[in-house]
Amino acid sequence: MPRNIDFMIVVDMQNDFVSGALGSEMARAIVPEAVEKVRSFVAEGGTERLIFTKDTHGENYAETNEGRHLPVPHCVKGTWGFEIIDELAGFAKDAKIIEKPAFGSTLLPSAVREMTDAPDEEISFYLLGLCTDICVVSNATILKAHFPESCVNVYSKCCAGVTRESHDAALLTMKMCQIELL
């Protein structure tokens, strides 16, 4: 009987996206439920397959392509805004952390492969975090591309977008890409 290997991917739950430079009421509103999902995942299986991604920028952010399109410095390494929010920091200290300079992490699939050699059909992914319409959708589709037979799930109530409309559009995009919305 095939085993099922579950991974939880907590996307960019950093201070700058919740209450800092790019924070929003929508982002703050998901924190309690996101914390509960992570707590439940850890209670069932520990932190062995818990992965946090961190949006990671340098002091030269304004000179980057992203900085020219979004001229709001955020998640600069070494700053308060770069850190995982306090409510999740305790879980992050024992988890795999992937720093990423782009919306999607090209290192995420290889990190998963380092953590398991199970066939795709035995792996399930559960994603939550910020922002639905940028980094969550990017990482969910990267996982779907690298693990096409895996079940990629997104906790939609544990995600927030830049706007309600862009959040909903990203959810629809993911659904069309056969990513399950929970």
Q: Where are the domains of the chain?
A: 5-55+81-181
Q: How far apart are CA 171 and CA 181, in angstroms?
A: 7
Rounded Cα–Cα distance for residues 128 and 37 (Å): 9
In the prediction, which pLDDT does 37 show?
Answer: 99
Go through the chain and tell me how many residues it has: 182
Tell me the two tokens of residue 162.
């830049």
Q: What is the pLDDT of residue 151?
A: 97
Both tokens of 78, joined, read 């070494």
For 92, counting Cβ atoms within 10 Å of its Cβ (0-12 exposed, 13-18 middle, 19+ buried), the class is buried
Phi and psi at residue 154, to the nearest 5°: -125, 125
Q: What is the pLDDT at residue 1?
A: 55
Query: Can you list the positions of beta strands (E) in 105-145?
Result: 123-130
Q: pLDDT truncated to tens, each residue of the chain (182 aa)?
A: 567 999 999 999 999 999 999 999 999 999 999 999 999 999 999 999 999 999 999 999 999 999 999 999 999 999 999 999 999 999 999 999 999 999 999 999 999 999 999 999 999 999 999 999 999 999 999 999 999 999 999 999 999 999 999 999 999 999 999 999 99
Q: Which residues pair with 97 in a beta bridge?
A: 52
In CATH terms, the superfamily for domain 5-55+81-181 is Isochorismatase-like (3.40.50.850)
Q: Which two tokens stand for residue 157?
A: 């109530």
